[in-house]
Structure 1
Amino acid sequence: MIRRFGDSPRHDTRYTRRAGVYAILPRNRQLLLTHQADPTPELQLPGGGIDPGESPAQALHREVLEETGWKIGAIRRVGAFRRFTYMPEYDLWAEKLCLIYQARPILELSCPSEPGHTAVWSDWTIAAQELGNAGDRHFVKQLWAKV
Structure 2
Amino acid sequence: MSISPYLAGLRKHVGHELLMVPSVSGVVEDGDGRVLLERRADNGLWNLPSGALDPGEQPATALVREVYEETGLHVRVTRLAGVASHFTRYPNGDRCQYVNVWFHCRPERGTARVNDEESVAVQWFAVGELPDLHPYVRRRIDTALADGPAAWFVQPGEDFPELSVSDVS
Task: Calculate the TM-score normalised by the size of structure 2.
Answer: 0.68
Within 2, Cα distance between the matches of 1:102 and 1:144?
Answer: 7
* Unaligned runs of at least 5 residues, structure 1: 1-12
1:80 alignment partner, SS class: strand
Equivalent pair of 1:124/1:144 in contact (CA under 8 Å): no
Cα distance per residue 1:83-104 (max 9 Å; x no partner): 111134x752001111110010
CA shift in 2, pair 1:94/1:66, >3 Å: same
Equivalent pairs: percent with the same residue? 26
The one-letter amino acid paired with 2:97 is E
The one-letter amino acid paired with 1:29 is G
What are the residue-to-residue correspondences of 1:1-147 with 2, within 5 Å? 14-27=17-30, 28-38=32-42, 40-88=43-91, 91-108=93-110, 111-117=113-119, 118-127=121-130, 130-131=132-133, 133-146=134-147
Cα distance per residue 1:62-93 (max 9 Å; x no partner): 100011110001432111111111134x7520
Cα distance per residue 1:5-28 (max 9 Å; x no partner): xxxxxxxx9421111100001111
The one-letter amino acid paired with 1:44 is N
The structure whose Rg is larger is 2
CA shift in 2, pair 1:74/1:58, >3 Å: closer
Q: Tell me the number of residue pairs that the alignment of Structure 1 and Structure 2 aligns.
A: 131
Task: Calculate the TM-score normalised by the size of structure 1.
Answer: 0.77
1:64 alignment partner, SS class: helix
Equivalent pair of 2:87/2:95 in contact (CA under 8 Å): yes
1:65 alignment partner, SS class: helix
| Moved segments of 4+, more than 3 Å | 109-112, 142-147
Within 1, Cα distance between the matches of 2:19 and 2:77?
Answer: 31
* Unaligned runs of at least 5 residues, structure 2: 1-15, 149-169
